[in-house]
């Protein structure tokens, strides 16, 4: 067996590529994991992406993976590959902090289903990564804030910011995120990586500290559509511990990824996706359409059934369910919440039952309208964010206006939590500050394989996803 000499260049390989090199014994998991941990030690003091680093345990996992592979046992493309897990998911023996002070002493007794499935796939879990407090927009003022590796002065997204930063910075090859109103997609856009929010229920939520149960999704974040397909292959599927997990069989997400996209119909609603946007955001959407036409896809005009009434309904459901999640904790420990989280929970506590019922009824109509739209197209293209990645100073000013936040940062995210439909977020360009610009594809129910195919096709002929931040 010949193995390569350790080098930082490994840090920026794709997950599938490094997994294949470990399988072929061109690299070992021990080498790759050691290098990942070394980068965490060197760089994360500035980036603040990790809550806890499981260095000793990770090296033991890596050595076990190498022994298995050497003996002829290969568990799949994640075998021996270092990944991270958002600190909303249980890892046995560790606290699930959820970005708060209150939960940091509560130790998980079992692994979340997603964590268990990552272990079964042979992935090396190197640690837990930060989230905003209660998976909202802001961090608890006493806890570190992850820094965007492209620019420490710019937003890193929310709430799976630790997942986005660690993956973009080459500290791991992929990470698990969660998404209630855009929490996989905004960090993917802001950090220049690829993220997949699956159909609601496609991935078990057992072992997740919830934000809003009926809107929460769990999904993979990595550097390419191929990599998130490999991760989804490992974590998707029915689960007896989560009755809301869908019973539909897993698709072959990775095996189908290279199928041509000839004849795939991609919808675009110019009013929804482009009106009022900065040219820097609109241009990559048009460029994407041109690339996909060249690859054999069709572009078709559609009308997304989204309006301010739906927007308000989605916010009411999210805040009411958030308040329900925190009902007991907030009653007992309100003073230990950060001020912005506390205000948000109080708003949710004051939503009347009648308003919540009206919002759920409007949601049901919207779900049906979206399903009908996807009778005419296979996918829908939108920007990732409604504005270029904001600086932290601009974000602070923006965050004081809830409507402005909804119509810019989350304009293209929240609708698809409300509908439960799957989305793929991926890099589509860069702005004048060289910050990433994200795109988003939306599919009908359980079309994750098609989303990955389309993203892979685009990434085979473009290079946005291989740009890397200039860090040591």
- The answer to whether 125 and 83 have CB atoms below 8 angstroms apart is yes
- Predicted local distance difference test score (pLDDT) of residue 6: 45
Query: Yes or no: is domain 11-466 CATH 3.30.1330.10?
Result: no
Q: Distance between CA atoms of 378 and 86, rounded to whole angstroms?
A: 31
Residue 465, token pair as written in the block: 């996803």
Residues with catalytic roles:
86, 159, 183
Residues in Cβ contact with 400 at an 8 Å cutoff, skipping those fewer than 6 apart: none
User: How many CB atoms sit inside 10 A of residue 458's CB?
Assistant: 25
Q: Are strands 298-301 and 265-268 parallel, antiparallel or unpaired?
A: parallel
**Cβ-contact 259, 229 below 8 angstroms:** no
Stated as kind and residue range, the H or E segment containing 394 is: helix 392-398
β partners of residue 82: 124
Residue 397 burial by Cβ neighbours in a 10 Å radius (0-12, 13-18, 19+): exposed
Closest CA to 419 of 317, 323, 285: 317
Query: Do residues 140 and 101 touch, judged by C-beta distance below 8 A?
Result: yes
**What is the pLDDT at residue 472?**
61
- Looking at residue 3, its pLDDT comes to 46
Q: Which residues on adjacent β-strands are paired with residue 95?
A: 107
pLDDT at residue 7 in the model = 52
Cβ-in-10-Å burial (0-12, 13-18, 19+) of 407 comes to: middle
Alpha-carbon span 200 to 417, nearest angstrom: 8
pLDDT of residue 8: 72
* pLDDT tens, the chain, 472 aa long: 444 444 577 899 999 999 999 999 999 999 999 999 999 999 999 999 999 999 999 999 999 999 999 999 999 999 999 999 999 999 999 999 999 999 998 999 999 999 999 999 999 999 999 999 999 999 999 999 999 999 999 999 999 999 999 999 999 999 999 999 999 999 999 999 999 999 999 999 999 999 999 999 999 999 999 999 999 999 999 999 999 999 999 999 999 999 999 999 999 999 999 999 999 999 999 999 999 999 999 999 999 999 999 999 999 999 999 999 999 999 999 999 999 999 999 999 999 999 999 999 999 999 999 999 999 999 999 999 999 999 999 999 998 888 889 889 999 999 999 999 999 999 999 999 999 999 999 999 999 999 999 999 999 999 999 999 998 6
The pLDDT score that the predictor gives to residue 262 is 96
Question: What residue spans define the domains of the chain?
Answer: 11-466
């Amino acid at each position: 067996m010949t193995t390569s000499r350790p080098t930082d260049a490994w840090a920026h390989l794709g997950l599938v590529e490094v997994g294949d090199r470990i399988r072929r014994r061109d690299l070992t998991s021990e080498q790759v994991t050691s290098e990942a941990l070394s980068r965490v030690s060197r760089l994360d003091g500035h980036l603040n992406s990790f809550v806890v680093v499981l260095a000793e345990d990770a090296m033991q996992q890596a050595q076990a993976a190498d022994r298995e592979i050497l003996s002829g046992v290969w568990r799949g493309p994640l075998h021996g590959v270092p990944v991270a897990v958002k600190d909303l998911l249980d890892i046995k023996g560790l606290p699930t902090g959820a970005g708060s002070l209150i939960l940091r002493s509560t130790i998980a007794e079992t692994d979340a289903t997603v964590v268990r499935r990552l272990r079964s796939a042979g992935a090396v879990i190197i640690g837990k990564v930060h989230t905003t407090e209660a998976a909202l927009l802001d961090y608890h003022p006493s806890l570190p804030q992850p820094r965007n590796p492209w620019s420490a002065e710019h937003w890193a997204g929310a709430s799976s910011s630790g997942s986005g930063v660690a993956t973009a910075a080459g500290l791991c090859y992929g990470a698990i995120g969660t998404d209630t109103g855009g929490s996989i997609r905004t960090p993917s856009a802001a950090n220049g990586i690829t993220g997949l929010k699956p159909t609601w229920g496609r991935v078990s939520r057992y072992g997740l500290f919830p934000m809003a149960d009926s809107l929460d999704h769990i999904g993979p974040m990595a550097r390419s559509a191929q990599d998130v397909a490999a991760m989804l292959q490992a974590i998707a599927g029915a689960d007896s511990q989560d009755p809301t997990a869908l019973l539909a069989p897993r698709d072959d997400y990775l095996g189908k990824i290279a199928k041509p996209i000839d004849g795939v119909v991609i919808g675009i609603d110019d009013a929804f996706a482009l009106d009022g946007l900065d040219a820097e955001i609109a241009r990559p959407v048009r460029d994407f359409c041109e690339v996909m036409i060249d690859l054999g896809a069709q572009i078709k005009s559609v009308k997304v059934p989204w309006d301010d009434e739906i927007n308000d309904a989605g916010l009411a459901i999210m805040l009411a369910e958030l308040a329900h999640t925190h009902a007991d904790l907030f009653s007992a420990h309100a003073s230990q919440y950060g001020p912005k989280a506390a205000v948000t929970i109080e708003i949710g506590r004051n939503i009347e039952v009648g308003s919540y019922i009206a919002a759920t009824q409007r949601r049901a109509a919207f779900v049906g309208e979206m399903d009908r739209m996807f009778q005419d197209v296979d996918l829908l293209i939108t920007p990732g964010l409604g504005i270029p990645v904001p600086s932290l100073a601009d974000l602070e000013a923006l965050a004081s206006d809830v409507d402005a936040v909804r119509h810019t940062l989350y304009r293209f995210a929240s609708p698809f939590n409300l509908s439960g439909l799957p989305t793929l977020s991926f890099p589509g360009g860069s702005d004048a500050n060289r910050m990433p610009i994200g795109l988003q594809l939306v599919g009908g129910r359980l079309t994750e394989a098609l989303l990955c195919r389309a993203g892979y096709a685009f990434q085979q002929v473009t290079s946005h996803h291989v740009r890397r931040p200039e860090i040591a």
